[in-house]
Each structure stands twice: as structure tokens, then as C-alpha cells.
């Protein structure tokens, strides 16, 4: 059984994987919006990590992205 919070993170990840500028509510508490920043993975030029962080409570998740 997958929790509602997990479903909300999956939904947020789908939206932000396609459009990092989208305004997505915090999946944990719906208290703020997720901010996105990308970080390169040293030694792995075909992938990068996309961090999703709530601007209010700091809830976070990381997506592994392909270039
Ligand atoms: Zn939050």
C-alpha cells in the first residue's frame, strides 16, 4: 500500500521532470511550493540529479535525470 504522500511525490516528480519551472505544492504538508535545482553527477555526464525542496518545511526528494 502506497501512501498518499508517496503518490503526491510521484506526481510532483512527473510534473517537475518535464517542467522544472512548474509551481507544485509541497507533497508532505501542502505548506509551500517545491523549488528545483539540478546538480551534475561527477564522472557521469549523461545523468544529473534534480532536487525538489519545499520552500517552507524543507521536505525534499531527488530525481535521477537523463540529459
Ligand atoms: Zn512543505
- Tens digit of pLDDT at every position of the chain (67 positions): 789 999 999 999 999 999 999 999 999 999 999 999 999 999 999 999 999 999 999 999 999 999 8
Residues 6+ apart with CB under 8 A from 61: 9, 12, 13, 27, 51, 52
- Which residues are close to ligand 1, an ion, with C-beta < 5 A? 26, 28-29, 31-32, 54, 56-57, 59
For residue 49, the cross-strand partners are 39, 64
- What totals of helices (H) and strands (E) does the chain contain, helices first? 1, 3
CA 56 to ligand 1 center in whole angstroms = 5
CA 44 to ligand 1 center in whole angstroms = 31
Among 27, 4, 14, 2, CA closest to 63: 14
CA 48 to ligand 1 center in whole angstroms = 24
Amino acid at each position: 500500500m502506497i501512501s498518499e504522500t508517496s503518490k503526491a511525490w510521484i506526481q510532483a516528480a512527473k510534473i517537475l521532470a518535464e517542467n522544472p519551472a512548474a509551481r507544485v505544492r509541497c507533497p508532505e504538508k501542502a505548506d509551500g511550493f517545491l523549488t528545483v535545482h539540478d546538480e551534475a553527477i561527477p564522472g557521469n555526464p549523461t545523468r544529473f540529479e534534480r532536487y525538489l525542496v519545499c520552500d517552507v518545511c524543507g521536505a525534499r526528494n531527488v530525481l535521477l535525470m537523463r540529459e
